[in-house]
């Protein structure tokens, strides 16, 4: 359903997924006077604690989905791997925002790259890989190096293989599970940056300032704003992000990850990946902007006008992963730090437990 | 119970009262990884939507209080009129913060004024009134003018009578209900200001910048920061606020209302009233400080160190009272405004429905 439904205070937003992103969306919704109903199969979902209502059911349970659709004014999601049939079932009953098309595109690395190319956005070279022969041919074309990734369900470095030499390529397709894959050209990039972009039901867009992202063990560790890029690069990043959300007729917040390449030609950007949801690299907006990415997404999916994406402070966001979270007491003693914890009972290696935003007055 | 209980993430704070202040406290607690359990007789409490657990029971229900005390690590409250026996019952079982003494003092205008005087804080003249004869004598002493207020349970202008002339005084004690009262000297003040002060379990204090308050129909309408007072006046205000919380061995956030008097001697302050809780005139801290008054109160009652009370922006908070809340759509179109709605279903005249914080870069 795509009509311009606009919510009123007191109306309910349905959220698929009950993790920390759903939790922070529910918190923003509440402070804007909207109710939330979380749908998640996991009975220990962190988002349940802060929502008005929740449903524990598999995403395939159409009876539960029907009740959910009947109880909410609009549906959004906190993760891009919402099963296609779930999204389609809901979309026939209630507006789903950002939208089914955004899910289709971002669930499949090949579709995503094809869409991005067609939208006129700069990306790294890639190839469709359905066999070892496809891989060998593509490697020849892309200079013998690349990253082989499953087309579907990869995240945080899972479902990937790095190919730097002929030995890495041998049998790589089978090692990945002999599933449909893409080969991505290996880019010698300076760093990863990301843009949090939003689009409302009337097609207006807003972009937050670029963040420079640093990963550890394939998991985002810090996002720093300002990112330290030139104004022309920042402007190009915003333009690409806006092209993407406009091309998808998108409603909501999207995270757009880009590689910053610095070579003889100066700075340029290649879009690496899009996430059709609020994004970890946008958590800094909670404490450095009047309107956080969570507020912004709620406003957009509610059919409300976007807020200002302006930033009042410089910021560094640090993820608290696994045992990192034991630093909470130390963080509480830092004057310029705001601790955010997700209420997860169990510490597990690699699990996102919370984050810290450190802010400082805007330089210059 | 007064020992230095310190909570850990995942522990539960009990909150007496389920209005908007309890709601915003619960929201801060959740974002700091703490759970909340709201206790309130009203089944339609706005705070229930965002808390982990809630109990609907009268404050006099000792069985319900026992279960509540057993389920939480510490108890706080969002309103000063918590019945004395309720506070005492809980205090025998679990730490109650800010504390029973703060409630006793602030529930009774006479005790409050006596405490403030003894703490060496400047206040307006006052008299203990238990009869019309007391009133007549006190008026003679205080220049024939004053505000007659019930000792207990007055708020937002209720339970008060202004006496400006002899005619107003006639029968005034009976008109107020012939209940124990105080007469306050009428002060020709320039404006009301307030300080939000906090104190932690180790006795450290922190003060937010002064706000200048404007009332309409005896209800706070706006709070503006900076307040436009001299640095020496601001410093005197902070010193008095700190004397008060230290004198009460207070743990948590307190709102201290003061009259700013400008006369031949320059600027001076008289403390008007204290509120042993987060305060409406501190809502601006949500969007102009990294650590809001709600975060600060949660940190203090959790036995955690205080956050910085520093302000990154200038701010004006506007209350949305009754039909005011219908402006929500217009507010969403203002770039520098953040809408906060309390999720109250029914609009009633004089009811606080939400507020708006408008921020701007710090001047100077």
Q: Give phi and psi for B39, each to the nearest 5.
A: -115, 115
For residue A314, give the chain B residue with the closest CA.
B312
pLDDT band at A156 (very low <50, low <70, confident <90, very high): low
Element (H, E) at B12: strand B12-16
Instruction: Name which of A30, A290, A339 is nearest B27 (Cβ-Cβ).
Output: A30
DSSP β-bridge partners for residue B281: none
What are the residues whose beta carbons fall under 8 Å from the beta carbon of B127, sequence distance 6 or more?
A: B134, B137, B138, B141, B142, B182, B183
What ipTM goes with this model? 0.94
Share of chain A above pLDDT 70, in %: 98
Is position A104 annotated in a ligand binding site? no
For tokens 């296609």, name the residue.
Answer: A84
Which segments of B are annotated as binding site?
109, 149, 154-160, 184-187, 192, 215, 272-273
As a whole number of angstroms, the distance between CA B155 and CA A52 comes to 31
Q: Which tens digit of pLDDT belongs to each residue from A169-226?
A: 999 999 999 999 999 999 989 999 999 999 999 999 999 999 999 999 989 999 999 9
Over residues A329-333, the mean pLDDT reads 97
pLDDT band at A291 (very low <50, low <70, confident <90, very high): very high
The answer to whether the peptide bond before residue B98 is cis (omega within 30 degrees of 0) is yes
For residue A51, give the chain B residue with the closest CA.
B50
Over residues A157-169, the mean pLDDT reads 86
Taking an 8 Å cut-off on Cβ atoms, the answer to whether A341 and B299 are in contact is no
- Nearest C-alpha neighbor of A96 from the set A243, A245, A250, A230: A250
Buried b (16+ CB within 10 A) or exposed e, A318-329: bbbbeebbeebe
Q: Which tens digit of pLDDT belongs to each residue from A51-73?
A: 999 999 999 999 999 999 999 99
Exposed / middle / buried, residue B148 (Cβ in 10 Å: 0-12, 13-18, 19+): buried
As a whole number of angstroms, the distance between CA A144 and CA A146 comes to 7
Taking an 8 Å cut-off on Cβ atoms, the answer to whether A328 and B354 are in contact is no
Predicted local distance difference test score (pLDDT) of residue A157:
62
For residue A49, give the chain B residue with the closest CA.
B52
As a whole number of angstroms, the distance between CA B89 and CA B75 comes to 12
As a whole number of angstroms, the distance between CA A310 and CA B360 comes to 11
- Measured between CA atoms, how close is A251 to chain B, in angstroms? 17
The CATH number for B191-361, chosen from 3.30.565.10, 1.20.120.420, 3.90.780.10, 3.30.470.20, is: 3.30.470.20
Q: Which tens digit of pLDDT belongs to each residue from A311-324?
A: 999 999 999 999 99
For the sheet with B74-77, list strands across it: B53-55, B35-39, B12-16, B74-77
- Measured between CA atoms, how close is B30 to chain A, in angstroms? 7
In chain B, alpha helices (H) = 20-31, 62-71, 84-91, 100-106, 109-118, 132-141, 166-169, 172-175, 231-247, 285-288, 293-301, 328-332
- Measured between CA atoms, how close is B6 to chain A, in angstroms? 11
Residues of B in contact with A25 (CB under 8 A): none
Residues of B in contact with A357 (CB under 8 A): 290
Predicted local distance difference test score (pLDDT) of residue B265:
82
In A72-131, alpha helices (H) = 84-91, 100-107, 109-118
- Measured between CA atoms, how close is B238 to chain A, in angstroms? 19
Which segments of B are annotated as binding site for ATP?
109, 149, 154-160, 184-187, 192, 215, 272-273
Instruction: Name which of A49, A329, A335 is nearest B35 (Cβ-Cβ).
Output: A49
* A12-96: CATH topology: Rossmann fold (3.40.50)
Tokens for B305, please give them. 């160190």
Residues of A in contact with B325 (CB under 8 A): 9
For residue A48, give the chain B residue with the closest CA.
B52
Is position A187 annotated in a ligand binding site? yes
CA A221 to chain centroid, in Å, comes to: 15
- Measured between CA atoms, how close is B37 to chain A, in angstroms? 11
Predicted local distance difference test score (pLDDT) of residue B315:
98
As a whole number of angstroms, the distance between CA B281 and CA B221 comes to 9
Q: Which tens digit of pLDDT belongs to each residue from A97-146?
A: 999 999 999 999 999 999 999 999 999 999 999 999 999 999 999 889 99
**How many other CB atoms are found less than 10 A from the CB of residue B57?**
16
Predicted local distance difference test score (pLDDT) of residue B76:
98
For tokens 């004014």, name the residue.
Answer: A73
Q: Which tens digit of pLDDT belongs to each residue from A22-45?
A: 999 999 999 999 999 999 999 999
As a whole number of angstroms, the distance between CA B363 and CA A266 comes to 38
For residue A308, give the chain B residue with the closest CA.
B335
Taking an 8 Å cut-off on Cβ atoms, the answer to whether B341 and A33 are in contact is yes
State whether residue A199 is helix, strand or coil. Answer: strand
Predicted local distance difference test score (pLDDT) of residue A159:
81
| SS3 of B107-129 | CCHHHHHHHHHHCCCCECCEEEE
Max Cα distance, chain B (Å): 60
Predicted local distance difference test score (pLDDT) of residue A2:
54
CA B148 to chain centroid, in Å, comes to: 21
Q: Which tens digit of pLDDT belongs to each residue from A227-272?
A: 999 999 999 999 999 999 999 999 999 999 999 999 888 899 999 9
Taking an 8 Å cut-off on Cβ atoms, the answer to whether B336 and A312 are in contact is no
CA A176 to chain centroid, in Å, comes to: 24
Share of chain A above pLDDT 90, in %: 90
The answer to whether the peptide bond before residue A98 is cis (omega within 30 degrees of 0) is yes
Instruction: Name which of B307, B310, B345 is nearest A10 (Cβ-Cβ).
Output: B345
The answer to whether the peptide bond before residue A226 is cis (omega within 30 degrees of 0) is yes
Is position A157 annotated in a ligand binding site? yes
For residue B333, give the chain A residue with the closest CA.
A305
* A125-184: CATH topology: Dna Ligase; domain 1 (3.30.1490)
Predicted local distance difference test score (pLDDT) of residue A153:
75
Predicted local distance difference test score (pLDDT) of residue A266:
87
As a whole number of angstroms, the distance between CA B278 and CA B80 comes to 10
- Nearest C-alpha neighbor of A276 from the set A82, A91, A88: A82
- Measured between CA atoms, how close is A110 to chain B, in angstroms? 37
Taking an 8 Å cut-off on Cβ atoms, the answer to whether A32 and B310 are in contact is no
Predicted local distance difference test score (pLDDT) of residue A18:
98
Instruction: Name which of B27, B32, B343 is nearest A33 (Cβ-Cβ).
Output: B343
Domain locations along chain B: 12-96, 125-184, 191-361
* pLDDT tens digits in sequence order for chain B, 364 residues long: 557 899 999 999 999 999 999 999 999 999 999 999 999 999 999 999 999 999 999 999 999 999 999 999 999 999 999 999 999 999 999 999 999 999 999 999 999 999 999 999 999 999 999 999 999 999 999 889 999 999 987 666 678 899 998 889 999 999 999 999 999 999 989 999 999 999 999 999 999 999 999 999 989 999 999 999 999 999 999 999 999 999 999 999 999 999 999 988 889 999 999 999 999 999 999 999 999 999 999 999 999 999 999 999 999 999 999 999 999 999 999 999 999 999 999 999 999 999 999 999 998 6
Taking an 8 Å cut-off on Cβ atoms, the answer to whether A354 and B287 are in contact is no
Taking an 8 Å cut-off on Cβ atoms, the answer to whether B310 and A335 are in contact is yes
- Nearest C-alpha neighbor of A238 from the set A277, A198, A200, A272: A198
Predicted local distance difference test score (pLDDT) of residue B159:
81
As a whole number of angstroms, the distance between CA B138 and CA A145 comes to 92
């Amino acid at each position: 359903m795509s009509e311009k439904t606009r919510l009123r205070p007191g109306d309910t937003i349905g959220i698929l997924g009950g993790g920390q992103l759903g939790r922070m969306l529910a918190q923003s919704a509440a402070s804007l006077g909207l109710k939330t109903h979380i749908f998640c199969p996991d009975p220990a979902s962190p988002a349940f604690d802060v929502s008005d209502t929740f449903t524990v059911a598999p995403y395939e349970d159409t009876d539960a989905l029907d009740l959910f659709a009947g109880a909410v004014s609009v549906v959004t999601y906190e993760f891009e791997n919402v099963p296609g049939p779930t999204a389609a079932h809901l979309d026939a009953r209630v507006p789903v925002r950002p939208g089914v098309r955004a899910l289709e595109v971002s669930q499949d690395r090949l579709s995503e790259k094809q869409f991005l190319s067609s939208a006129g956005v700069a990306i790294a070279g890639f190839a469709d890989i359905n066999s070892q022969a496809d891989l060998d041919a593509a490697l020849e074309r892309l200079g013998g190096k690349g990253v082989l990734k499953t087309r579907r369900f990869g995240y945080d470095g899972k479902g990937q293989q790095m190919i730097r030499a002929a030995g890495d390529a041998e049998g790589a397709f089978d090692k990945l599970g002999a599933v449909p894959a893409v080969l991505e050209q290996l880019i010698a990039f300076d760093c990863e940056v990301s843009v949090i972009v939003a689009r409302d039901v009337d097609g207006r867009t807003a972009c937050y300032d670029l963040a420079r992202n640093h990963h550890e063990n394939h998991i985002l560790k810090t996002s720093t704003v300002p990112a330290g890029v030139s104004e022309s690069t920042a402007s190009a990043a915003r333009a690409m992000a806006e092209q993407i959300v406009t091309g998808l007729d998108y409603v909501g917040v999207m995270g757009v990850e880009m590689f910053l390449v610095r070579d003889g030609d100066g700075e340029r950007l290649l879009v690496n990946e899009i996430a059709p949801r609020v994004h970890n690299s946008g958590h800094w907006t909670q404490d450095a902007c009047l309107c956080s990415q969570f507020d912004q997404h709620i406003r957009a999916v509610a059919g409300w006008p976007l807020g200002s994406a302006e930033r009042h402070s410089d910021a560094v966001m640090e993820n608290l992963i696994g045992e990192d979270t034991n630093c909470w007491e130390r963080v509480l003693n830092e004057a310029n730090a705001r601790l955010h914890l997700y209420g997860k009972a169990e510490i597990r290696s690699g699990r996102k437990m919370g984050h810290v935003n450190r802010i400082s007055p805007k330089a210059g």
